[in-house]
Amino acid sequence: QVQLVESGGGLVQPGRSLRLSCAASGAILGMYRMGWYRQAPGKEREWVATISSGGTTNYADSVKGRFTVSRDDAKNTAYLQMNSLKAEDTAVYYCHWAGSNTWGQGTQVTVSS
């Protein structure tokens, strides 16, 4: 059974950085596409970024240039480095693994002064 566990969320001031982690068990993360999504209060879940099995990355326009998705195959973990955070980045962030359509439990990111 595949499990994804996110960590690294928290409260941060605008302009600061956070790094989210998504640790996988029960599967080799790098075999399939892995994505990061977020859901703000009262809004639909939206796609943030993706890293393919080959390492190709794609980003939503709203985070392009500020966020970086990466993967450490040795640790079977994916990361989302978030820089220059804005209040509108406040949301619960989820990782998703395409190999088994598995979602993590989510981690809250709050950007506020």
Please give the full DSSP string across 85-97, using - where no structure is assigned: --GGG-EEEEEEE
- Give residue 20's pLDDT: 98
**Residue 29 pLDDT greater than 90, yes or no:** no
Tokens encoding 51: 């890293």
Read off the pLDDT of residues 56-92 as tens digits, 9 standing for 90 and up: 999 999 999 999 999 999 999 999 999 999 999 999 9
- Give residue 73's pLDDT: 92
Q: Are 78 and 51 in contact (CB under 8 A)?
A: yes
Q: Are 77 and 91 in contact (CB under 8 A)?
A: no
Q: In 3D, which of 61, 34, 62 has the Cα closest to residue 50?
A: 34
Read off the pLDDT of residues 30-43 as tens digits, 9 standing for 90 and up: 889 999 999 999 99
Signed CA dihedral, 88, 57, 44, 79: sign only: negative
The H or E element containing residue 58 is: strand 57-59
- Give residue 69's pLDDT: 98
